[in-house]
């Protein structure tokens, strides 16, 4: 189906070709008769014109783009409306995006990547100085010009520090799962510019390693890894990389913003220093990396805040237990010291009293003074100190778990047969109305999922003692089946021939 806008003239713009179909806008290359050059026109999708949230986000991008003027931010030219749909006009970057470069399977040297990171970091530090947090730094939002210089674009979900936070309509938090900082993932109210530094480090990791630090079957799985897990060391994944780069990349991917580089420029400078003697090391890009993540359903995404809240509670409880344990140990040491002082006082006190009896003080004339304050015996002072009442948090004691005696203990990847007619039990967020039905002889594969205690495991147990396994029949979605209906052996009452005839 041809695009009705192709070849049309709108003011001084003639639409030449459709460049791409973005999430909320269509992107065209047009000829600008005033500038006598090609430009890019981003036009809001028809389906979003009546959506106030998306329209507001688009208008926000226009406002922010107009306010930013930097060598490494894609220049803003114009804005207006075509057929009542808002558009924004930007400089046409002939080199395409980093997405396009990765898709081509290009070989990138560390020196080239370092140059791009330096340029993007300058753009970020400039935006941060204006109180703007990008929040969606990724390969598709870094464009390359005719001089192979990189520029930052797409401030559609940017947040102005003193402004109102916008959210995407299809996710509970804005951003892209593979590049999202932990604090952005949990929807932290105090998110600041260091979230962008985390995303910049993820982008750098991807370009030099040739793979994502975290990936998974859907957005939720990836987000949980950003929150919970540590990325592999870059030099372990790509042995050609200098080990000095590990510290630089992993520092800015720290879970706590305070432990990261505190500016994008600082990160880029340390990156450049780490690769200075290895600039000709080449990483061949894997085009498969650009494959989109399998979107999680709205129901699954709606469970994400609850999962993250449980993680926050668990982490807070762990910190409280750690603090209580340290405090108890400190008090124990303190009590031991006090006890030693007490014993020493009891040993020395008779000697002191004996010395005083044998050597009475000489009689002297004393100048009258105010009455002395009542004395408190040393023993009483020590006892008061040792028994001082302290208000302590009640420690939450978690018993050491006993080893699980897991029936069969099937690991992820094990192919199993279903031994009797059954229906799958879905995890929260899946569709329970049309559960998948299995017949004897059907196969499933053991996988891993989030189960009791917010742990990633292949199995879990119910209070009644029944064991369940996390399984998948299509390699993407997963659910639960009881251990009692699964076996590594083909059901003996069936034969492959009878199953195929059925």
Same domain, 105 and 213: yes
Provide the 8-state DSSP code for 447: -
Same domain, 85 and 199: no
Same domain, 243 and 115: yes
The count of other CB atoms within 10 Å of the CB of residue 251 is 16
Same domain, 43 and 107: no
Same domain, 148 and 230: yes
What's the rounded Cα separation, in Å, for the pair 147 and 144? 8
- Number of folded domains that form the chain: 3
Same domain, 141 and 71: no
What's the rounded Cα separation, in Å, for the pair 290 and 287? 6
What's the rounded Cα separation, in Å, for the pair 234 and 210? 10
Of 32, 78, 125, 136, the catalytic one is 136
Among 104, 92, 73, residue whose Cα is nearest residue 16: 92
Same domain, 116 and 211: yes
Residues of the domain holding 146: 94-160+170-298
Q: How far is CA 122 from CA 76, 375, 425, in A?
A: 18, 68, 51
Same domain, 183 and 242: yes
Contacts of 441 (CB under 8 A, 6+ apart): 417, 418, 490, 491, 494, 496, 499
Q: How far is CA 246 from its chain centroid?
A: 18
Same domain, 128 and 43: no
Give the alpha-carbon dihedral of 221, 223, 229, 235, to 10 degrees: 100
Token representation of residue 131: 């109180």
Q: Is 102 helix (H, G, I), strand (E, B) or coil?
A: helix
Q: What pLDDT does 356 receive?
A: 53
Same domain, 196 and 235: yes
What is the residue-wise DSSP string for 327-374?
HHHHHHHHHHHHHHHHHHHHHHHHHHHHHHHHSPPPP------SPPPP
Domain boundary among 54, 89, 124: 89
DSSP helix, strand, coil percent of the chain (3-state; round to 5):
40, 20, 40
Give pLDDT tens digits along the chain (502 positions). 578 889 999 999 999 999 988 777 899 999 999 999 999 999 998 888 888 888 888 888 888 999 999 999 999 999 999 888 899 999 999 999 999 999 999 999 999 999 999 999 999 999 999 999 998 899 999 999 999 999 999 887 776 664 433 333 334 456 788 998 998 888 787 889 999 999 999 999 999 999 999 988 777 788 888 988 899 999 999 999 999 999 999 999 999 999 999 999 999 999 999 999 999 999 888 888 776 655 444 445 555 666 666 655 655 565 555 545 555 554 554 555 556 656 665 655 555 555 555 555 544 444 444 444 444 444 343 334 433 433 333 333 333 333 445 667 787 778 787 888 776 654 433 443 345 667 777 777 887 765 555 566 777 666 556 677 777 765 555 677 888 888 877 666 654 444 334 4
Same domain, 232 and 245: yes
Q: What HEC string does 271-293 produce?
A: HHHHHCCCCCCEEECCHHHHCCC
Token representation of residue 356: 């005083």
Our answer to whether residue 53 is catalytic in this structure is no
Measured N-to-C along each axis, helices 298-358 and 219-228 cross at an angle, to the nearest 10 degrees, of 10
Same domain, 175 and 277: yes
φ, ψ (nearest 5 deg) of residue 23 = -65, -45
**Domain assignment of residue 346, yes or no:** no
**Domain assignment of residue 189, yes or no:** yes
In 168-265, at which residue ranges do the beta strands (DSSP E only) sit?
none
What is the residue-wise DSSP string for 460-479?
EE-TTS-EEEEEESSSS--E
């Amino acid at each position: 189906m041809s695009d009705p806008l192709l070849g049309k003239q709108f003011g001084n713009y003639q639409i030449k070709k459709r460049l791409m179909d973005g999430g909320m806008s269509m992107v065209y290359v047009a000829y600008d008769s005033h500038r006598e050059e090609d430009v890019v026109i981003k036009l809001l999708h028809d389906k979003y014109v009546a959506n106030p949230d998306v329209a507001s986000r688009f208008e926000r991008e226009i406002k922010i783009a107009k306010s930013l003027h930097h060598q490494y931010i894609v220049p803003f030219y114009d804005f207006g409306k075509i057929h009542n749909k808002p558009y924004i006009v930007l400089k046409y970057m002939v080199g395409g995006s980093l997405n396009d470069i990765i898709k081509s399977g290009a070989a990138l040297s560390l020196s080239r990547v370092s140059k791009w990171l330096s340029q993007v970091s300058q753009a970020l530090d400039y935006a941060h100085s204006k109180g703007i947090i990008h929040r969606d730094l990724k390969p598709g939002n870094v464009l390359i010009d005719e001089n192979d210089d990189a520029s930052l674009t797409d401030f559609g979900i940017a947040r102005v520090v003193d402004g109102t936070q916008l959210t995407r309509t299809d996710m509970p938090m804005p951003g892209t799962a593979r590049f999202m900082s932990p604090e952005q993932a949990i929807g932290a109210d105090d998110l600041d510019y260091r979230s962008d530094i985390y995303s910049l480090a993820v982008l750098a990791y991807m370009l030099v390693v040739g793979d994502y630090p975290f990936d998974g079957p859907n957005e939720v799985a990836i987000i949980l890894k950003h929150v919970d897990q540590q990325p592999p060391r870059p030099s372990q994944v790509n042995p050609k990389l200098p080990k000095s780069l590990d510290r630089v990349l992993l520092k800015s991917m720290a879970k706590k913003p305070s432990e990261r580089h505190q500016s994008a420029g600082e990160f880029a400078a340390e990156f450049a220093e780490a690769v200075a003697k290895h600039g000709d090391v080449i990483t061949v890009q894997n085009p498969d990396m650009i494959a989109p993540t399998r979107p999680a359903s709205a129901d699954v995404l709606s469970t994400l805040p609850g999962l993250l809240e449980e993680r926050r509670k668990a982490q807070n409880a762990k910190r409280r237990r750690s603090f209580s344990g340290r405090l108890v140990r400190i008090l124990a040491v303190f009590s031991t010291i006090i006890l030693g002082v007490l014993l020493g006082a009891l040993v020395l006190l008779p000697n002191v009293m004996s010395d005083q009896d044998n050597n009475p003080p000489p009689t002297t004339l004393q100048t009258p003074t105010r009455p002395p304050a009542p004395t408190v015996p040393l023993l009483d002072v020590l006892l008061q100190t040792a028994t001082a009442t302290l208000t302590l948090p009640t420690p939450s004691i978690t018993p050491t778990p006993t080893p699980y005696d897991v029936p069969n203990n099937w690991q992820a990847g094990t192919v199993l047969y279903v031994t009797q007619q059954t229906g799958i039990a879905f995890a929260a967020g899946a569709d329970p109305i049309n559960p998948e039905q299995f017949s004897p002889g059907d196969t499933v594969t053991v996988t891993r999922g989030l189960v009791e205690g917010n742990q990633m495991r292949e199995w879990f147990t119910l209070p009644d003692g029944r064991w369940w396994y996390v399984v998948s029949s299509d390699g993407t979605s997963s659910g639960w089946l009881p251990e009692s209906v699964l076996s590594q052996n083909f059901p003996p009452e069936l034969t492959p021939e009878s199953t195929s005839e059925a």
